[in-house]
Amino acid sequence: MEHQRRRFSLAWLLILGLFLLRETQAAHHRHVGQFTAVGTVHSLLELTAISFMDDVELGSYNNVHRQIIVKIPWISEVLGVGYITHNRNLLVDHEKHFQWMLQNLSKNETKLNNPGNHTIQLLADCEIDNDIKIKSRIHLIWDGEEYCRMDEEVGHWENVHPEFKKYLPIAESTLWTNLRKHYMDQYCVDFLRKVVGYRNLRDNVAPEMIVSQRVNPEGRIILSCTATGFYPHSILLHWEKNGELGVWGKETSSGILPNVDSTFFLQITLELPPEDSEMSYTCVVEHSELKNPVVYPVPGNPKKIKPWVLTLGIVLSVILLLSCIGTLIVWRKRKSGSMDQVEGSFPSASPTPSPQ
């Protein structure tokens, strides 16, 4: 009875998840600004900035040409020339801010006459749901190591590296706190709202599905369900056994990953014991481009080859190979003997004696 009650509850949770996915996947969006600066204690060598929305690249900036390159043409129409020019000027101004960070974070180097290159990465991202800001974060990474991060829900800098602690009073001052909030609201959240309210970044695409199974060396059955090439990124995959919802075996997921064409990829696997080989499993996919959940059955179960069958097959193969080799040898000997007989039946060619 308890088992049935648990299964009933799980079924309702999955059904509720399908319903909520329908209602919310079009309303949730994320904007990420990625800044990367390379330089020494003396100079800024390169600064690049890339803007992503829902993992689709919108535009980029590089300090060499000092121009914003918009990757999706209609975004320029939405934002306007004035907005893009203003942001371009801000990025030019930010070059000295990154130079300041390079100088201060690397000034403890012992060989200042021959300083090495360093890399600063600043990641700023925000998320909205139904036009309401739900998350806002900043990460500062120095030479591949995270020095600090700020989550506005927490309200203070976390995971502060010892080298950064001396700059913490500046980062937490009223001036820099107000600037940070202003920047995140205006250039992350407001930007996101403008773009979202206009049109989709790209055409929606239904997922391409691949369902397979194999048997690992331990004899356990591995089921794989792969969805790829879909947009938007919200999707739900789950397994059913004999047409029923539930949880069986060891389930793992790749997580939703971006493809190079701005679509997405997701794979879930299920590891089962050998005794489940006769069960009927299906993978069910739910996506905004599918009118209803689509069921994909697992293809026919792979048959395990018994050890004695494998051994017998190997022995027969060896016997067949040896028989073929023996037949070839006999055939070549017979052919060689026939040629000798043919050559012996002809008189040897000798010159005809000349008449006396």
pLDDT digits (tens, 9 = 90+) for 228-278: 999 888 899 999 988 888 887 899 999 999 888 888 999 999 999 887 766
Q: Quick one: pLDDT at residue 339?
A: 53
pLDDT higher than threshold 50 for residue 290: yes
Whole-model pTM: value is 0.60
pLDDT at 1 over 60: no
On the question of pLDDT at 201 being above 90, the answer is no
Q: Residue 269 sits in which domain range?
A: 203-297
Q: What is the pLDDT of residue 93?
A: 92
Dist CA 138 CA 179 (whole Å): 13
Q: Are residue 230 and residue 190 in the same domain, yes or no?
A: no
Alpha-carbon dihedral sign for residues 120, 89, 86, 53: negative
Q: Where are the beta strands (DSSP E) in the chain?
A: 28-39, 44-53, 56-62, 67-70, 118-129, 132-142, 145-151, 157-158, 208-215, 221-230, 236-241, 244-245, 250-253, 257-258, 264-272, 281-286, 294-297
Tally Cβ neighbours within 10 Å of residue 103. 15
Task: Quote the pLDDT of residue 73.
Answer: 85
Do 238 and 151 have their domain in common? no
CB 123 within 8 A of CB 135: no
**Which of these three, 135, 169, 196, is where a domain ends?**
196
Q: How far apart are CA 247 and CA 271, in angstroms?
A: 11
Are 135 and 80 found together in one domain? yes
Rounded to whole angstroms, how far apart are CA atoms 284 and 1? 27
32 within a domain of the structure (yes/no): yes
- Statement to judge: residues 78 and 217 lie in one domain: no
324 located within any domain: no
The reply to whether 55 falls in a domain is yes
Check pLDDT > 90 for residue 203: no
Bridge partners of 141, per DSSP, are 121, 146
Q: Is the same domain home to 238 and 293?
A: yes
Q: Could you tell me if 59 and 71 are in contact, meaning their C-beta atoms sit under 8 angstroms apart?
A: yes
CB atoms within 10 A of CB 272: 21
